[in-house]
Amino acid sequence: MPGIELIIRVLLTFLIMFIMVRIMGRKEISQMTFFNFVSAIAIGSIGANLAVNKQLNVGNGVLAIILWGSITLLSDLIVLNSKKARVVLEGEPKIVIKNGKMMEDVMRKTKLDIDSLNSLLRQKNIFSMSDVRYAILEVNGELSVVKQAESQFPTKKDFNMPIPNKMIPLPVSVISDGNVIKGNLKEYNLDENWLNTKLAENGIKSIKDIFYAEVQEDGSLYIDRKRGSYN
């Protein structure tokens, strides 16, 4: 490709992309839905081809960018004015923890596993599942959290109340999807006998009845049973 043609293609692509971005508006990555993200990648890919692929006619390349941008802009306008269209194109927030209990069916539908949920909670400076009253998975993949009343501010420190000694530095999961995480038990010098004893104290006969369990900092056990396993 001659140098002059390459320069013209690059400058034209930059101009078209700049205009489209200004028309379509700006969003932070964290605010983009999956549809917005895919559209941005597609437009960028077309733009890259227009700039360096001499087999792509310049007119067709420009038309493709304009059409894809227009479709994206049209979908955004539809989403702004129609609740039903918004649900179809972007999805809707899902409650993944309700009244302190994980909603297993919702987690399966949203492809959210326990490890990912714990990771999202840690990003909110929440290190124990028992501190959560409600958690909502937003359409952009972020997690909104309402803490349990006793975990909200003001804290014990604000009232100069004594803080109990911690048996372990951070809450740690020991059962996930009905399976014992032996490595975590060993990390804190615990074993399955200790775990079975704690479960028995809560009237639970089988580990398979537990969806999730974690040892709290004071040595107590937070338990979330599988749906249908309640007596």
Q: What domains does the chain contain, in order, with CATH numbers?
A: 3-88 (no CATH), 94-151 (3.30.240.20), 164-225 (3.30.240.20)
87 pLDDT band (50/70/90 cuts)?
A: confident
b/e 190-206 (16+ beta carbons within 10 angstroms → b): beeebbeebbeeeebee
- pTM exceeds 0.75 for this model: no
Residue 2 has pLDDT above 90, yes or no: no
Peptide bond into 162 cis (omega under 30): no
Q: Is 54 helix (H, G, I), strand (E, B) or coil?
A: coil
Query: What is the identity of the amino acid at 226?
Result: K
Q: Is 35 exposed, middle or buried (0-12, 13-18, 19+ CB in 10 A)?
A: middle
Q: Tell me if 23 sits within 8 A of 66, measured CB to CB.
A: no
Q: Strands 94-98 and 132-137, how do they pair?
A: antiparallel
Q: Is the pLDDT of residue 1 over 80?
A: no
Q: Identity (one letter) of the amino acid at 118?
A: N
Name which of 213, 210, 217, 215 is nearest 172 in CA terms. Answer: 215
Q: What are phi and psi of 96, to 5 degrees?
A: -105, -20
Q: What percent of the chain has pLDDT over 90?
A: 23
DSSP for residue 125: T
Tell me which residue has tokens 């700006």.
Answer: 26
Backbone angles phi, psi at 215, to 5 degrees: -85, 130
The confidence band for 112, taking pLDDT boundaries of 50, 70 and 90, is very high
Cβ atoms < 10 Å from Cβ of 52: 13
